Chain A
Amino acid sequence: MRIPLSWLAEFVTWSGPAAALAERLTMAGLKIEAIEEVGQLDRRIVAGRLAAVEPHPEADRVLVCRVQVGRPAALVAVSGAPGLAAGQLVPVALPGARLPDGREAQAVRIRGVESAGVLCSEAELALGEDASRVLVLPDDAAPGTPLAALPGIADTVLEAEVTPNRGDWLSILGVAREVAAVTGARLRHPRPRPRESGAAAAREVRVRVQAADLCPRYCARVVRGVGIVPAPLWVRLRLRRAGMRALNAVVDATNYVMLERGQPLHAFDLERLVERRIVVRRGAAGERLTTLDGVDRVLEPDDLVIADGRGPVALAGVMGGEASEVTSATRVVLLESAFFAPASVRRTSRRLALPSQAAYRFERRVDPAMVPEALDAVAALIARTAGGRVAPGIVEDAPGTKALAPPTIRLRPRRVVALLGTRLARGEIARSLRALGATCRTQRDALVVTPPSFRGDLRLEEDLIEEVARVGGYDRVPVALPEVPLAAGEDTPERRLAARVRRALVAAGLAEMVTIAFTDAETNRRLPGFVGRALVPLAVKNPLSSETGELRRSPLAGLVRALRLNLALGATFVGAFELGKGYGLDAHGARQEPRAVALLLAGAWPPRGVERSGPPVDFLDLKGVLGGLFAALGLDGERVRWRPAGEIDALHPGKAALVELGGATLGVAGALHPAITQSADLPGEVWVAELDFAELAHYVPRRLALRPLPRFPAVTRDLAVVVDEAFRAGDILEEIRALQNPHIELVRLFDCYRGAPVPAGKKSLAYTIAYRAPDRTLTDEEVNALHAAVLQRLAGRFALEFRS
């Protein structure tokens, strides 16, 4: 809502700076978003009186004008514009003056005649749209007066954001009321009445409302003998500053009064209404109407229409019809002012995608008392600006006025104290409410309040209390903190575990990410992850986009997306993790949101010193990060098993492992399937892992179990075997551990070698075993025997070729 302050000033006086007014209104709930200075024309653009106008001797259709600009000598200006005549007062841009578009006016020679000024159109001055003729100014200014000093030219416009509950703020008068209520200034509320003549309006037109629930009140006036001429400059300027276009004096007057008083109005060409009657009714299925914008529309029984003797002529409250619109041939105008039900107008407006300033106001409920007042105001304005004689009387059908009456609300002062927490005297409460236009009377210990007709949002005692606080100023309600007994809390085990997981992964060089829970259907299908792999995806009913159409089953969906973004930004290392949820429906149709630790590694590690880059990330790095995580959580790394995963959705079949602990699967780790990396345009391999957080929590030991330090030294022995390429090095480790020999302290793979002299297709694995007894130093014989038993066990189990 745009509010030119010069217009506002007609209804309420504010003598301070605009910024201060904006602040007061914002604090009262009417947020002022911007303050715009308009019409600040260069002071070298002045009003000039055309003393004489003559054709140019050397050029056709060009005039030489002698212009009085308040100097002793008249100025000569040459102009090709039509419609110039002696006696007119027009804008003259003197040389050096800067026009709104940045151009500078200059003295020029036009076919031998020196032109010392530019006669301007309203478009050149940014005062209107018409660029085809010179702007003719109202007659009452002295020649030489800068245009910016003329009334209405320079102005300040407040841009307000009006909340949906305050339809009454959608007018200059409505804002003026608020200013008066909040500042204590006096509201001026003139109610212009037109001078009437000729036969009664009731003789020209009949009005009948057949849908009283959707249209409780319909009023009409008739104006005869109008001229379809441009509205005067002051009307056009105000419309423009308020954000509307000027068309002709009749339509402009309806828009002017709508902006000024909040009541949308419509003008019909009465002579084009069949049988000269108006029926307000619901549409019949299949009825058609061509609206003002030229579009032919099919109506429904839900639409409220204005119809004449033949059929629909307008969509009530939304848009008028083309057939009955005011044109240059219009002589008699029917003016409509009515209350249309907000929900009905909204429905029709949405269905036909026809937003309009009128619909906007009807949707937010207009003031029933303004219906006849606005009609009088627009009739008076039309008579003044377009000529015409206003027919006596308002033709009205108001079958639903009783339903429009404001409620009577009982307001208890103790309820005010209860809700606001501050004691207010009854007199002060009444004063605030009266300032808003409500009537109050005392009844025993309470106030009986009738809200004004323009406040449809005030229905409950609580609404009134809110208004009392608002008008007084929310910032003036005293501050008090609630006193509530609190008990000291502590983190849950899950939060503590999550913190430990975060610390461990950050320490490993990964960054924590929080990604959005939504993804597209395709990604969701391809990336089920681990915790959500058996869940059925949940689709969003009204997604913002197809990319956010489903809830992800795995946080990997978000991590992969973040990977793409970071790679596109030039990252060479991406290490990220997320403690997030996967979502979906389980086999019983119940909603599940299992929590996961998901991580992703791609690219090459950052350089560790004087090198261009660290080594590329590979599976052992992924295993190392997870191993570090397990260690940080106190899990026995020896008990964690890594099994080849076989077919797992989304992972590379040859490079994926299941992570198992104590017979349960904690999660998966591996390379993203090439189908995914290719379709997402990801270069190289992407290593990912996803662990079930709940399972992890289950296995994390509650207490540290410390081991006593060994008192006797260990003896180590190595073993090396040559095996097929496909042989799993971990099998040997497991087999040795399966011996469960208490004197075998440690087994570790320390070398994996391929190349001569190892035959092609095979590899050499080397392990070191540490033997130690708690109570003595083992002898060489004892160690040899232990080691031999190990070798024998291995030889019996696998086809191995031992190396010495």
Chain B
Amino acid sequence: MIHPNVLRAGGYDPEVVRGFAFGMGTDRLALLRYGLADLRLFYDNDLRFLGQFPF
């Protein structure tokens, strides 16, 4: 839930407005999806890795 101080700093009255925020690293989700362990695989751009994705 967004902290009331942050809402106020954004010009909102916390009594009137509430907010929630979340973040998921898409690269971390991709790690889970493809069963990988090292995030750097996505940024090294090793063609032997990239070439395994047919789409």
- Please give the residue numbers on chain A whose beta carbons come within 8 Å of chain B beta carbons, in ascending order: 418-419, 460, 462, 466, 511-516, 558, 562, 565-566, 569, 571, 574, 576
Q: Does B43 contact A516, Cβ atoms closer than 8 Å?
A: yes
Complex Cα distance A460/B4, Å? Answer: 9
Partner of B44, one of A419, A460, A565: A565
Beyond the given A460-B4, A462-B4, A514-B45, please list 20 additional residue pairs across the A-B interface where CB-CB is below 8 A: A418-B18, A419-B1, A419-B18, A462-B1, A462-B3, A466-B1, A511-B47, A511-B50, A512-B50, A513-B50, A514-B42, A514-B43, A515-B45, A516-B43, A565-B46, A566-B45, A566-B46, A569-B46, A571-B48, A574-B47
Complex Cα distance A571/B45, Å? Answer: 12
**Does B35 have its Cβ within 8 Å of any Cβ on chain A?**
no
Complex Cα distance A562/B46, Å? Answer: 7
Complex Cα distance A222/B3, Å? Answer: 46
Which B residue sits closest to A562, measured CB to CB? B45
Task: Identify the interface centre among A466, A566, A574: most chain B CB within 10 Å of its CB.
Answer: A566
Within 8 A of A (CB), among B7-55: 18, 42-48, 50-51
- Please give the residue numbers on chain B whose beta carbons come within 8 Å of chain A beta carbons, in ascending order: 1, 3-4, 18, 42-48, 50-51
Complex Cα distance A397/B4, Å? Answer: 37
Partner of B47, one of A462, A514, A515, A571: A571
Which A residue sits closest to B4, measured CB to CB? A462
Question: Which B residues lie within 8 Å of A512 (CB)?
Answer: 50
Q: Does B45 contact A576, Cβ atoms closer than 8 Å?
A: yes
Question: Which A residues lie within 8 Å of B44 (CB)?
Answer: 562, 565
Could you tell me the distance in whole angstroms from the C-beta of A371 to the nearest C-beta in chain B? Answer: 29
Could you tell me the distance in whole angstroms from the C-beta of A661 to the nearest C-beta in chain B? Answer: 30
Q: Does B45 contact A565, Cβ atoms closer than 8 Å?
A: yes
* Smallest CB-CB A-B distances: 4 pairs: A562-B45, A513-B45, A511-B50, A566-B47
Complex Cα distance A45/B45, Å? Answer: 55
Complex Cα distance A460/B45, Å? Answer: 48
Please, could you name 28 A-B residue pairs with CB atoms under 8 Å apart, sorted by A?
A419-B1, A419-B18, A462-B3, A462-B4, A466-B1, A511-B45, A511-B47, A511-B50, A511-B51, A512-B50, A513-B50, A514-B45, A515-B45, A516-B43, A562-B44, A562-B45, A565-B44, A565-B45, A565-B46, A566-B46, A566-B47, A569-B46, A569-B48, A571-B47, A571-B48, A574-B47, A576-B45, A576-B47
Could you tell me the distance in whole angstroms from the C-beta of A279 to the nearest C-beta in chain B? Answer: 37
Complex Cα distance A516/B44, Å? Answer: 9
Which A residue sits closest to B55, measured CB to CB? A506
Complex Cα distance A343/B2, Å? Answer: 25
Complex Cα distance A569/B47, Å? Answer: 9
Complex Cα distance A565/B46, Å? Answer: 7
Could you tell me the distance in whole angstroms from the C-beta of A29 to the nearest C-beta in chain B? Answer: 15
Could you tell me the distance in whole angstroms from the C-beta of B13 to the nearest C-beta in chain A? Answer: 13
Could you tell me the distance in whole angstroms from the C-beta of A641 to the nearest C-beta in chain B? Answer: 32
Which B residue sits closest to A573, measured CB to CB? B47
Complex Cα distance A565/B49, Å? Answer: 12
Question: Which B residues lie within 8 Å of A565 (CB)?
Answer: 44-46
Question: Which B residues lie within 8 Å of A514 (CB)?
Answer: 42-43, 45
Question: Which B residues lie within 8 Å of A558 (CB)?
Answer: 45
Question: Which A residues lie within 8 Å of B51 (CB)?
Answer: 511
Complex Cα distance A516/B45, Å? Answer: 10
Complex Cα distance A4/B51, Å? Answer: 50
Question: Which A residues lie within 8 Å of B47 (CB)?
Answer: 511, 566, 571, 574, 576
Complex Cα distance A802/B18, Å? Answer: 82
Question: Which A residues lie within 8 Å of B50 (CB)?
Answer: 511-513
Question: Which B residues lie within 8 Å of A418 (CB)?
Answer: 18
Could you tell me the distance in whole angstroms from the C-beta of A523 to the nearest C-beta in chain B? Answer: 16
Task: Identify the interface centre among B18, B48, B50, B51: most chain A CB within 10 Å of its CB.
Answer: B50
Could you tell me the distance in whole angstroms from the C-beta of B45 to the nearest C-beta in chain A? Answer: 4
Complex Cα distance A121/B37, Å? Answer: 43
Complex Cα distance A742/B44, Å? Answer: 52
Q: Does A515 contact B4, Cβ atoms closer than 8 Å?
A: no
Question: Which B residues lie within 8 Å of A462 (CB)?
Answer: 1, 3-4
Complex Cα distance A419/B46, Å? Answer: 46
Question: Which B residues lie within 8 Å of A576 (CB)?
Answer: 45, 47
Q: Does B1 contact A515, Cβ atoms closer than 8 Å?
A: no
Could you tell me the distance in whole angstroms from the C-beta of A604 to the nearest C-beta in chain B? Answer: 14
Complex Cα distance A515/B40, Å? Answer: 11
Question: Which A residues lie within 8 Å of B43 (CB)?
Answer: 514-516
Complex Cα distance A96/B54, Å? Answer: 59
Complex Cα distance A450/B24, Å? Answer: 36
Complex Cα distance A512/B53, Å? Answer: 10
Complex Cα distance A419/B44, Å? Answer: 43
Question: Which A residues lie within 8 Å of B48 (CB)?
Answer: 569, 571
Question: Which B residues lie within 8 Å of A466 (CB)?
Answer: 1
Complex Cα distance A558/B45, Å? Answer: 10
Could you tell me the distance in whole angstroms from the C-beta of A473 to the nearest C-beta in chain B? Answer: 17
Task: Identify the interface centre among B3, B43, B45: most chain A CB within 10 Å of its CB.
Answer: B45
Complex Cα distance A574/B43, Å? Answer: 16
Could you tell me the distance in whole angstroms from the C-beta of B51 to the nearest C-beta in chain A? Answer: 6
Complex Cα distance A439/B25, Å? Answer: 40
Question: Which A residues lie within 8 Å of B18 (CB)?
Answer: 418-419
Question: Which A residues lie within 8 Å of B42 (CB)?
Answer: 514
Could you tell me the distance in whole angstroms from the C-beta of A61 to the nearest C-beta in chain B? Answer: 56
Which B residue sits closest to A461, measured CB to CB? B4
Could you tell me the distance in whole angstroms from the C-beta of A680 to the nearest C-beta in chain B? Answer: 15
Could you tell me the distance in whole angstroms from the C-beta of A253 to the nearest C-beta in chain B? Answer: 41
Question: Which B residues lie within 8 Å of A574 (CB)?
Answer: 47
Could you tell me the distance in whole angstroms from the C-beta of B24 to the nearest C-beta in chain A? Answer: 17
Complex Cα distance A512/B54, Å? Answer: 11
Task: Identify the interface centre among B1, B3, B47, B50: most chain A CB within 10 Å of its CB.
Answer: B47
Which A residue sits closest to B14, measured CB to CB? A462
Could you tell me the distance in whole angstroms from the C-beta of A782 to the nearest C-beta in chain B? Answer: 52
Question: Which B residues lie within 8 Å of A515 (CB)?
Answer: 43, 45
Complex Cα distance A513/B18, Å? Answer: 40
Could you tell me the distance in whole angstroms from the C-beta of B49 to the nearest C-beta in chain A? Answer: 10
Question: Which A residues lie within 8 Å of B45 (CB)?
Answer: 511, 513-515, 558, 562, 565-566, 576
Complex Cα distance A803/B43, Å? Answer: 55
Could you tell me the distance in whole angstroms from the C-beta of A545 to the nearest C-beta in chain B? Answer: 14
Complex Cα distance A565/B45, Å? Answer: 8
Complex Cα distance A459/B26, Å? Answer: 34
Complex Cα distance A638/B24, Å? Answer: 47
Which B residue sits closest to A460, measured CB to CB? B4
Could you tell me the distance in whole angstroms from the C-beta of A499 to the nearest C-beta in chain B? Answer: 11
Complex Cα distance A576/B44, Å? Answer: 13
Which A residue sits closest to B20, measured CB to CB? A482
Question: Which A residues lie within 8 Å of B46 (CB)?
Answer: 565-566, 569
Complex Cα distance A419/B7, Å? Answer: 14
